């Protein structure tokens, strides 16, 4: 992974998910997150407009690390790179997507949820992965167990991370950062309450530092 991205992940330790069906709203969500101090954003491919959202955010906020999440295939990996993604996150491990990302020099964090999947990722040369869905596959205890064996791997757990358990995850030395949707709640977005998102970002940073 590029050291700039690693540095941002190490500093902020929280990666918010950006999900919207409208690029204008996606820009407002991103602006609110950046205002709150978070500069690594994962735009998830879960709406028809997700690629347009990704492209708009990457163009508007070149100072941020704008990645694509929920990337499921090599074709999607190629497309998100074309649209400006500076990193790729996927729910599972797809070697074809890893190859596309490696060939393009774009960091990829595939999801793993077992030692076997992590070993496959390790043998593909990856040293940073996502644990997904973290809370359902053992949470911090699973991370400790995996990192005692895979000693050079760093993790980004996602799936069930929230302000109530964030510190437990971040206390695991092998955890680089946590990802999650709690920072961008759908009801706040529906109400146009972007200040609430800035506040959540600020609170998450404070929690991560405490
Ligand atoms: C992901 O894509 O990483 C997860 O959907 C995040 O899970 P969460 O919604 O429980 O934060």
pLDDT along the chain (210 residues), means of 10: 83 96 98 97 98 98 97 98 98 98 97 98 98 98 98 98 97 97 97 98 95
CA of 130 to the centre of ligand 1 (A): 11
**pLDDT value at position 134?**
98
Q: Does this model's pTM top 0.85?
A: yes
CB of residue 69 inside a 6 A radius of ligand 1: yes
Smallest CA separation from ligand 1 atom 3, residue: 158
Strands (E), the chain: 14-18, 40-44, 65-69, 88-90, 108-112, 128-131, 154-157, 178-180
Domain that holds residue 168: 3-202
Quick check: is 37 in a domain?
Answer: yes
Locate all alpha helices (DSSP H) within 37-114, ordered by sequence.
50-60, 74-82, 95-104
Alpha-carbon distance of 44 to 72, in angstroms, equals 11
> Do 115 and 144 form a contact (C-beta atoms < 8 A)?
no
CB of residue 138 inside a 6 A radius of ligand 1: no
**pLDDT value at position 125?**
97
What DSSP state is assigned to residue 132?
A: T
**pLDDT value at position 4?**
84
- Number of structural domains the chain divides into: 1
| Nearest atom in ligand 1 to 44's CA | 2
Quick check: is 207 in a domain?
Answer: no
Instruction: Assign residue 140 the CATH number of its domain.
Output: 3.20.20.70
- Active site (annotated) includes residue 35: no
**pLDDT value at position 35?**
98
Quick check: is 49 in a domain?
Answer: yes
Quick check: is 89 in a domain?
Answer: yes
Structure tokens at 16: 């918010």
**pLDDT value at position 1?**
67
Quick check: is 88 in a domain?
Answer: yes
């Amino acid at each position: 992974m590029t050291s700039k991205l690693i540095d941002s992940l190490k500093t902020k330790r929280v990666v918010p998910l950006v999900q919207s069906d409208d690029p204008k709203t996606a820009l407002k969500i991103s602006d609110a997150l950046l205002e709150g101090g978070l500069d690594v954003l994962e735009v998830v491919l879960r709406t028809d407009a997700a690629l347009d959202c990704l492209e708009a955010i990457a163009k508007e906020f070149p100072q941020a690390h704008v990645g694509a999440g929920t990337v499921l295939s090599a074709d999607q990996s190629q497309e998100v790179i074309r649209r400006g993604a500076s990193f790729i996150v996927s729910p599972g491990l797809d070697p074809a997507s890893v190859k596309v990302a490696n060939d393009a020099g774009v960091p990829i964090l595939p999801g793993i949820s077992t030692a076997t999947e992590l070993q496959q990722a390790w043998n593909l040369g990856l040293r940073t992965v996502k644990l997904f869905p973290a809370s359902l596959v053992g949470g911090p205890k699973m991370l400790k167990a995996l990192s005692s064996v895979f000693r050079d791997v760093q993790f980004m757990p996602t799936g069930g991370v929230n302000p109530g358990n964030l510190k437990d995850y971040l206390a695991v030395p092998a955890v680089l950062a946590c990802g999650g949707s709690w920072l961008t709640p759908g009801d706040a977005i529906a109400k146009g309450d972007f200040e609430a998102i800035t506040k959540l970002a600020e609170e998450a940073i404070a929690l991560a530092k405490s």
